[in-house]
Structure 1
Amino acid sequence: MKHLGIESAAPLTPVELAKLALFHNDDHECVMPVPPDAGPVPVYEKFGRRADHQFEYRGADGALLGYVLRWDARDGCRKEFSPATYWRNANNKRSWRFKAWPDPRPLFGLDRLAAYPDAIVLLTEGEKAAEAVERGPLADAFTSCRQHVIGVSWPGGVEAIKYADFTPLAGREVIIVPDNDAAGEKAADQLVEMMIQSGVRRLRRWKAPVQCQTKWDVADAIPAELSPETLVKSILERPRSRHRGS
């Protein structure tokens, strides 16, 4: 994952933030890919601190499409997210803005999808979990599998599923890996329908074992009662239900 590296930059003033937060209108266009001369994302603070993570959204060709910033839950504050996208107005003035992409929004992991056309796709609830497939507690166990496994997600969480463009998953083998809570199950219900509409080749849905705590996801520590290999086997070989796309 990519962490913020603009340590010397000063936080934006309220006036500057207001300008970046202007609502989209007809004379503003989201620029994708982001041009090389766009410069870094301005510093943006929530809860009096900078984001803990900055996730890069890249297209199938590897070109930068924007970012999602994440503030982890701590010090009594819940986790928070903010997209950072690049925009141009009618006068060709360009700037970073802390707002979502226009619909349909790109997936997180399009570059991985293009790099591994035959990989099993784990559709996770959040960028952190998607990256954990290759860099988290289960990464070594996934690497030892016969078929490559990659993580993919969408921006905006459960409430934004309907705005995402899932068509790049057409023809792919997809396993929905939701967070282990009621919201995760609700998301999985929606994702099943979206995947069928998108024409995935094979679709499965996984349910976390009872040993996993509420809200557990694949980026979290492995329960003491389970091994990485056991968890990965349950994801890849014994999903709860099966569906087939067109």
Structure 2
Amino acid sequence: MSTYQPLQDINVCELFKEERNRLNLSQKKIADFLGMSSKQVSRWESQIAIPADKLSLLTELGFDVNYIITGNSSNSLSLIPSENKALQPSHTDLTVVPQYDLAASAGGGALVVAEHPIARFELSSRWLQQNNLHNKKLTVVPVRGDSMEHTLYDGDLTLVSLVEDPTDAREGVCVLRFDDEIFVKRIQYDFKSKGYKVTSDNSAYSGFFVDADDISAGRFSVLGRVERVLQRARKVD
């Protein structure tokens, strides 16, 4: 069984609709605020989950985004006004996990726009302890592209543990940097050549090998390991 599963079996579409009704907001008003069509907003209530960047914006309208994602109300996702407040939880039993302004691409890559947190999640400290994640430096990273289907899908929000020592992430699904691009791929370290075999779970994409010279030159690094999917961007059969 794959370990990359949502935290709960949550119907994001229904919870988004509940929040919209609670705030007495029409689909058109939300669409106008986000600069998109009412039809796109309507699809969020019946077919697809909401992109991460739109989730952050919805907090400005009063949406409880944590409720939409997990089914638990705590107003966990919010724009971060300053570094000083970034890691202060709203409750003692919660732990703040920041989201940075970057996207891990499952296809052709995505440029790192900034390294400062732009939003935050508050996750249960008890849940993190139960899953041996409480002592790890965590971040939330959205996936872009389809090369990791059927493990990860375009638009998925992933919980990633950042690594400082490369030996902590030598295999598995990881967030990678190659030059100025960010990827999420499956890796396997080759001890003989001291390089990495990098592959996609979607067979339509070819794998490649990163040799020791690229690593020593600073062109390639493993940024983190994908631990969980916080929110699926689409319904998975």
Q: Is the pair's TM-score, using the shorter chain for normalization, greater than 0.5?
A: no
The TM-score, its normalising length taken from structure 2, stands at 0.27
- Taking structure 1 as the reference length, the TM-score comes to 0.26
Q: More relative contact order in 1 or in 2 (CA 8 Å, sep 6+)?
A: 2
**Structure having the larger proportion of residues in strand:** 2
